[in-house]
Structure 1
Amino acid sequence: MNWFPLFCDLRHKTVLLVGGGAVAERKARLLLKAGADVRVCATHFSSPFYEWQQAGKLTLREARFSPEHLDGCWLAIAATDSHEVNQQVSDYASARQMFCNVVDAPAQASAIMPSVVDRSPLMIAISSAGDAPVMARLLREKIEALLPQHLGKVAAWAGALRPRVKSTFNEAGQRRRFWEKLFHHDRLAQTLANGDDKQAEKLTEALFNEPLAQQGEVVLVGAGPGDAGLLTLKGLQQIQQADVVVYDRLVSEEVLELVRRDAERIFVGKRAGYHCVPQEAINQILLEQAGQGKRVVRLKGGDPFIFGRGAEELEALSGSGIPFSVVPGITAASGCSAYSGIPLTHRDYAQSVRLVTGHVQKNGELDWQNLAAERQTLVFYMGLTQAAEIQRQLLAHGMSGGMPVALVENGTSTRQRVVAGQLSELAELATQAQSPSLIIIGRVVALREPLRWF
């Protein structure tokens, strides 16, 4: 994040606007709407500036920019057609530790004015850090079309209720559930839009009198293999409604960025310097958090029912009478193969796919004879440390040493790396990869070069 998003209260605060043309005009309109005390400095002004001055809305100074014009200002905006003048404004503002917006020149600026969707007091700002202003404008237009005009009235109504909500409900979770009920109310928003405050008060009073559900619940959510874009829409909705998110090592930082900011996060995975939290302890965490009436999301990498031990966690919840639901995710086999250009099945090479845990023992509990069969694709999860044993067993049971293999490291993420070769090299290839990595074995791996796109 190169720019920190910040809303400023400019009411009755002095802002210097340097420039008097059409671009400066647009900035002046926004500043006046925000209630700022606007000073405008330029050698010439368009007609709206004189109208605003006559109406007492701003102050004009017909002069070239001078550093003393910044005296007493909270913010400076350089909106001239002169690169040199704009640079001067920026330099002098920086020397005074004052933020400065330079129109169409983000490299010179210390502040950016974003595209704005105004549903006051609800405000949505969109910025491309100056790289793609047209894209930001187009996105603003889309959001404008999606959001009804009366949202501002609903937000203002909620603002007036905040003291009562805080005194009525002691816990943050209770307050959040009340707000969710209010904002999802099918009639309140339309009543406010119609200006019927009496009916709105009646509907709101009914919400205060309704009991809030106290029973907790757990939602098992598959986070996908890494790329946040592969998180399902339902999964996104759940992590943004959670009171608590319990997550493991395979959940990417990009996905965690989408979790509600005020949700409690509990890490239960294995990482350097830490021991893996035992499954029994994870089960107990879920039971305790849900038992406190919280909405708990158990966030797992990939799909929770494919080598994710999700069923064990649900058994514990079921045995204790805790409500639960499951949101499946894209499993690593599907995501990593697609992002590597490797089809898991192909009419000419593989008519079946086997997903296999790589946690194999030396004496082997896997059906190696069938795993070594032709015309199928093998995908080994968690197999990096057992790569040598996988190679030995498959070769011993008749699989060709020339069978194509691929190790996909950090699959679907921006750090994805593929190490490819043949089965006889698997043990050596594994030393070139890092965890988490997926091992794909089969004739389809040979299609990677012509089909890969990531």
Structure 2
Amino acid sequence: MDQFLPAIPLSGARVVVLGSGEPALNKLRLFRTAPCELIWCTLGVSPALPSDLNPNTRIDTRARPHDVFKGARLVFIGVEDEKRAVKLANKARKAGALVNVVDNLPLCDFYTPALIDRGAITIALSSGGAGPVLVRDLRSALESVIAPGVGLLAQTAKGLRQRVSDVFPSVDARRKYWERALRGPAAQLADAGDEDGVRHALLDALRDDAPTPKGVVHLVGAGPGDPELLTVKAARLIRDADVIVHDRLVSPEIIDRARRDAHRIDVGKRQGDHPVPQERICEILIEQARLGRRVVRLKGGDSFIFGRGGEEVDAVRAAGIEAHVTPGISAALAAGAQAQIPLTHRDAAQAVTFVTGRPKLGGPDLDYSALAAATHTLVVYMGVAVAATLSRRLVEAGRSPATPVGIIENASLTTERRVFTTLDALAHTISSEKLSGPAVLVIGDVVAYAPEHLANLSQKALEHAA
């Protein structure tokens, strides 16, 4: 460990910033919501006041503010003249302050970390000046998964610490209480900004007869497989879940984002192999939620596009359980983006339709005449096994046999494959290239806009056409 990042209390502390340029202003912005005594020494300059300045800031425009360091805890020096910076730093240290000289590491007693400010919760990241851009990137990544109400939750919990200690004398009992209480309804109320609600929820959890927390089910789209294509909200829900009920198309890297103690239930289906019937999946969601747990039903792609999410949310609601839906990036969108196929390029398509190659057993067949229009992009999920029928019926309905087709297997994963062919050679290409899925078929003239289209048009397809 090259650095140790202490947490310095700011309430009532004196913080001094010297300088009038952008380096000094950046340091002032760090403390715009802090409860400290903030002094801005402009060193003889009368600058324009920034709109985001802490309203309690005291501005000192003297050229030589010799007495400003007295009682200071932190001093930031943002001046370009290094000799002057050294003199100011020495005076600040003699007064007992810790000093940071902007962009001059040898003169610093401490480095300024990248901060995530959530009120009572502050997260600091630092590379000691070795890679500030990397630190900023890490901060952005962390900010995307930290619940907005975590600061309010922590502040409210702080005010109840003594009360909790009175009820639970042992350390182990207190730990179990906080794990239960801070992950319960109080967390959701904090995200909504309900301060009174948070306090009441934490107090309710102290009672001996506290009711079992109400469970909730979140249907979450896990996207096509690449963890970086998760939505910010999906990543947070996965992290906070008590139970993860997942499909086989959800990658292990995404499931591993759950807490170590989260219960994982695999209900994945494969072609011709449904070890957990759909009815049983709905029952599992209801059973787990009735135990007061936060259940995340994790599905590949988007749960409301050929994911049977509508059936599951109907069953959960019918059981009187709260249900929420968080969308994901659908496999069709990911496949098009990965292959750079513009699904709705205006020179080639007036519409795009998503269909499944496996409609409901006993339900209506696809309307091939409506799907065969030349200016229509057709995206087929689960179409590999029915490619021969699909190709034949579309050609019979009037679609040109030479229509370009892109087959994207395992879109967004390291095992992704892209094969290009034509409609009449579709089944032959799938067989000869040994494509097994999961794959998305993109049918239409838009496929020709993919940069790989001509270069990677399947040789088997060309031979078949010849």
Residue 338 of structure 1, CA deviation = 1.2
**1:177 maps to 2:179:** no
Residue 166 of structure 1, CA deviation = 4.7
Contact 1:290 1:322 in 2 (8 A): yes
Q: What is the count of residue pairs matched by the alignment?
A: 330
The verdict on how the C-alpha distance between 1:447 and 1:156 changes in structure 2, with shifts beyond 3 A counting, is: same
Residue 265 of structure 1, CA deviation = 0.8
The verdict on how the C-alpha distance between 1:141 and 1:421 changes in structure 2, with shifts beyond 3 A counting, is: closer
Paired residue secondary structure (1:385):
coil
The verdict on how the C-alpha distance between 1:118 and 1:337 changes in structure 2, with shifts beyond 3 A counting, is: closer
The verdict on how the C-alpha distance between 1:322 and 1:230 changes in structure 2, with shifts beyond 3 A counting, is: same
Gap runs ≥5 in structure 1? 1-6, 8-26, 34-114, 189-199
The verdict on how the C-alpha distance between 1:425 and 1:321 changes in structure 2, with shifts beyond 3 A counting, is: same
Contact 1:406 1:440 in 2 (8 A): yes
Contact 1:402 1:423 in 2 (8 A): yes
| C-alpha separation in 1, matches of 2:272 and 2:179 | 34
Range 265-274 or range 168-177, more displaced: 168-177
**1:242 maps to 2:241:** yes
Which AA in structure 2 matches 1:285? Answer: I
| C-alpha separation in 2, matches of 1:239 and 1:159 | 28
Contact 2:350 2:376 in 1 (8 A): yes
Contact 1:117 1:143 in 2 (8 A): no
| C-alpha separation in 1, matches of 2:4 and 2:398 | 74
Range 252-261 or range 165-174, more displaced: 165-174
**1:208 maps to 2:193:** no
Deviations 1:204-227 (A, max 9, x none): 868735956622111111111122
Residue 293 of structure 1, CA deviation = 1.2
Off by >4 Å, runs of 4+ in structure 1: 29-33, 115-119, 122-128, 132-166, 168-175, 178-188, 202-207, 209-213, 271-275, 360-364
* Other-structure match for 1:392: 392
Which AA in structure 2 matches 1:396? Answer: E
Residue 138 of structure 1, CA deviation = 4.8
Contact 2:407 2:441 in 1 (8 A): yes
Residue 155 of structure 1, CA deviation = 9.8
The TM-score with structure 1 as length reference comes to 0.59
Deviations 1:139-175 (A, max 9, x none): 5787999999999999999999686585376896557
| C-alpha separation in 1, matches of 2:280 and 2:345 | 42
| C-alpha separation in 1, matches of 2:272 and 2:445 | 39
| C-alpha separation in 2, matches of 1:358 and 1:32 | 58
Residue 259 of structure 1, CA deviation = 2.0
**1:219 maps to 2:235:** no
Contact 1:216 1:322 in 2 (8 A): yes
Contact 2:186 2:201 in 1 (8 A): no
**1:380 maps to 2:380:** yes
| C-alpha separation in 2, matches of 1:142 and 1:150 | 21
The verdict on how the C-alpha distance between 1:159 and 1:247 changes in structure 2, with shifts beyond 3 A counting, is: farther
| C-alpha separation in 1, matches of 2:423 and 2:363 | 20
Residue 203 of structure 1, CA deviation = 11
Residue 230 of structure 1, CA deviation = 2.1
Contact 1:303 1:331 in 2 (8 A): yes
* Other-structure match for 1:277: 276
Residue 262 of structure 1, CA deviation = 2.0
Contact 2:215 2:290 in 1 (8 A): yes
Residue 277 of structure 1, CA deviation = 1.4
* Other-structure match for 2:73: none
* Other-structure match for 1:315: 314
Alignment of 1:113-132 (within 5 A): none
Residue 229 of structure 1, CA deviation = 2.2
Which AA in structure 1 matches 2:427? Answer: A
The verdict on how the C-alpha distance between 1:319 and 1:31 changes in structure 2, with shifts beyond 3 A counting, is: closer
Alignment of 1:52-71 (within 5 A): none
* Other-structure match for 2:173: 167
Deviations 1:389-431 (A, max 9, x none): 1112112222111100010011122332210111111012222
The verdict on how the C-alpha distance between 1:425 and 1:179 changes in structure 2, with shifts beyond 3 A counting, is: same
* Other-structure match for 2:60: none
| C-alpha separation in 2, matches of 1:359 and 1:335 | 20
Which AA in structure 1 matches 2:313? Answer: L
Residue 294 of structure 1, CA deviation = 1.0
Residue 355 of structure 1, CA deviation = 0.7
Which AA in structure 2 matches 1:434? Answer: S
Residue 342 of structure 1, CA deviation = 0.4
Alignment of 1:32-431 (within 5 A): 135-138=133-136, 164=169, 166-167=172-173, 173=180, 176-177=183-184, 180=187, 208=206, 211=210, 214-270=213-269, 275-359=274-358, 365-431=365-431
The verdict on how the C-alpha distance between 1:253 and 1:208 changes in structure 2, with shifts beyond 3 A counting, is: same
The verdict on how the C-alpha distance between 1:282 and 1:143 changes in structure 2, with shifts beyond 3 A counting, is: closer
* Other-structure match for 2:440: 438
Which AA in structure 1 matches 2:206? Answer: F
Residue 136 of structure 1, CA deviation = 4.6
The verdict on how the C-alpha distance between 1:276 and 1:430 changes in structure 2, with shifts beyond 3 A counting, is: farther
Contact 1:182 1:204 in 2 (8 A): no
| C-alpha separation in 2, matches of 1:256 and 1:30 | 32
Deviations 1:74-119 (A, max 9, x none): xxxxxxxxxxxxxxxxxxxxxxxxxxxxxxxxxxxxxxxxx99999
Residue 237 of structure 1, CA deviation = 2.2
Residue 353 of structure 1, CA deviation = 0.8
| C-alpha separation in 1, matches of 2:139 and 2:314 | 48
| C-alpha separation in 2, matches of 1:167 and 1:311 | 41
Which AA in structure 2 matches 1:315? Answer: D
| C-alpha separation in 2, matches of 1:138 and 1:301 | 30
**RMSD over aligned Cα, in angstroms?**
4.7
| Higher-helix-fraction structure | 1
Identity level (%): 41
